[in-house]
Amino acid sequence: MSATRAVTRLTVRQVRVGAIVLSLVSATFVASTVKAREATEAITPGLIEDLASNPALRALYGTPFDLSTPGGFTVWRVGMFLAGAAALWAMLAATRILRGEEEAGRAELVLTGPVTRPRLTDLSLLVLGATTPLVGVCVALTFIGTAQAVTGSVLYSAGLMLVMLDFVGVGGVASQLFGQRRRASGAAGLVLGGVFLTRMVADGSSGLRWLRWFTPFGWLEELRPFADNRFLPLLLLGATAVILLAVAVALSRRRDLGDGIVSDRDEAEMRPRLLRAPLSFQWRQGLTGLLGWGFALFATGLVFGGILGAFTEYIAKNPDVQKFMQRFGLHEVATPGGFVGSMDVFAAMAVALYVVTSLNRVWEDEQERRVELSYPAPITRPRWLGASVLSAVAVGVLISCGCAVATWLAVVAANGDLSFADALAGIANTFPAIAMFLGVAVMLLGIRPDLERSGGGGFVVGALAVSVFGPLMHLPDWVLDLSPFHHLAAVPAQPVDWGSAVVLCTLALALLAGGFVTYTRRDLRV
């Protein structure tokens, strides 16, 4: 077997499961939404105009260009969610393959064969790029299989594929710039969050709609599948992908194995502050996450608070829309408190993802043998893991509160009706669900640490998808119950569901206890 073929097969094995799962889940969401839309009565032209003009709905789901057909409605209802999830997967897969393999030392083993490091980068990018058509084809076939227009089906699917390819390029460039997977993923994640928020601001403001032309998600919207069927934005999406991938390839030729273009300093002045105990050390490690994730969630809170007034006022004045939202599982967001409670679930997903990824530092410390420097001191393994968990929890609480404060400030600035206590109550209501994800992550860390990030993060995203789209897809109750988010009341519009909160916290504590036991009993992976 040639070296090129061997490397290609290895990379395919590393990404195939995720690509297949993403494709099947995307196809399922499309088919279910089309079916649900066909089961409803025809939407009146007046309602279409109202939906298209409401800034809050545009900010959340994008600008609807065709709600009169099942295909056009599906693109509006789930199209942006699918694009965001696909872009996130593509970005994380790129940083995992291109930077994670080098950081773990496995790329050195591959390079002992007759393959150069630049060639390894080229093949990895090629395989990652080749996975994007799988998702696009599955989505296109689903649209066509449900009797939707072929042109619109192919157009949206091609746009989705190119959005994924764009973020393969973003992850590829970040992997060449930074020498650590954590920093590469963080930088690429900031780009993804920034362009997605830009799209939300552009769609939610009539005076800033031109901003859509500065984000791939806006270009995806401007394709207008099942409506005008524009092909020009495909050129922008494709050109951006080509440029980013070319930059990643060029940068790979300019660095050494294990290093990034943005080099870490070999020498630095010693800063012993916060290094004398495990908890303070882990807190220092989490300061970067506090700043980055805190800024992102604060900005998200401002967007949520800024659109609350327009959204609830629009719903209250339109009985037809109330019936429409009731049919598609959106009735809870019709009041200010319900809107805040529903939007806090998305913030909770981000906090849960932070908690899961921050705990991955424990596994990275094992792989890089850094943890061996700590255990000769009078520090036990439960104490080390406990410090990591407490630090992640502290940062998670702070960034959650930051999102709540931003939401409240934006509502007050718009003369809306939301108290500071209600804003905090809404975000605090999500803590039991976040605790469940924390427990799962710690349990995986003790049993299969190599699956902690992907398994824990996949559980978070999957749980949100089930909670948001499960009622629309008419999933069985036992499936909905698997999502911790499904058991949260829409606080502050509704009282806290204390029974569910106690059950979630009890399960979380049991998982945490099991994770601590298994972590202390297994061998270190070094």
- Mean pLDDT over all residues of the chain? 84
Gap between the Cα atoms of 58 and 64, Å rounded: 7
Higher pLDDT, 34 or 167: 167
Please check the confidence at residue 329 and state whether its pLDDT lies above 60.
no
**Angle CA(169)–CA(83)–CA(314) in degrees, nearest 5?**
140
Tokens representing residue 151 in the block: 């042109």
- Inform me whether the pLDDT recorded for 350 exceeds 80: yes
Taking the C-alpha atoms of 128, 132, 135 and 140 in order, what is their torsion angle to the nearest 10 degrees? Answer: -160
Residue pair 286/293 in contact by the 8 Å Cβ criterion: no
Of the candidates 388, 477, 463, 474, the one whose C-alpha atom is nearest the C-alpha of residue 430 is 463
* Count of Cβ atoms closer than 10 Å to residue 458 Cβ: 15
Confidence of residue 477 (pLDDT cuts 50, 70, 90): confident
Encoded tokens for 111: 């390079």
Predicted pLDDT at 114: 78
Helix and strand element counts for the chain (H, E): 21, 0
Which of 23-27, 149-153, 337-341, 359-363 tops mean pLDDT?
149-153
* pLDDT value, residue 191: 92
- Buried b / exposed e across 354-380, counting CB within 10 Å, b at 16+? bbbbbbbbbbbbbbeeebeeeeeeeee
The pLDDT of residue 404: 93
Q: Which long-range contacts (CB under 8 A, 24 or more apart) does 375-384 make?
A: 379/278, 380/520, 381/519, 381/520, 382/516, 382/519, 382/520, 383/278, 384/278
Q: Residue 164 — φ and ψ, nearest 5°?
A: -60, -45
The pLDDT score that the predictor gives to residue 525 is 66
- List pLDDT tens digits, range 234-268: 999 999 999 999 999 999 988 888 888 887 655 55
Res. 303 pLDDT band, cuts 50 70 90: confident
Tell me the average pLDDT across 277-305. 82
Distance CA 446, CA 493 (A): 39
Q: Which residues contact 23 (CB under 8 A, 6 or more apart)?
A: 134, 135, 137, 138, 139
Q: What token pair was written down for 33?
A: 């939404």
* 502 vs 108, higher pLDDT: 502
Q: Which of 71-85, 352-366, 476-490 has the lowest mean pLDDT?
A: 352-366
* pLDDT band at 400; cut points 50, 70, 90: very high
**In terms of pLDDT, which residue wins out, 67 or 407?**
407
Residue keyed to tokens 């994924």:
164
What's the whole-model pTM score? 0.81
pLDDT in tens, 66-76: 888 889 989 98
More confident residue, 96 or 41: 96
What per-residue confidence (pLDDT) applies to 258?
80
User: Which pLDDT score, from 0 to 100, does residue 249 have?
Assistant: 93
Sign of CA dihedral 273, 453, 395, 198: positive
Query: Rounded to 5 degrees, what are φ and ψ at 369?
Result: 65, 20
Check pLDDT > 80 for residue 22: yes
Termini Cα distance of the chain: 30
Which carries the bigger pLDDT value, residue 276 or residue 392?
392
Q: Assess whether pLDDT exceeds 70 at residue 48.
A: no
* pLDDT of the residue at 151: 95
Question: pLDDT confidence of 43, banded at 50, 70, 90?
Answer: low
CB-based burial label for 205 (10 Å; 0-12, 13-18, 19+): middle
Candidate ranges 2-6, 418-422, 430-434; pick with highest mean pLDDT: 430-434
Q: What is the pLDDT of residues 382-399, one digit of tens each?
A: 888 888 899 999 999 999
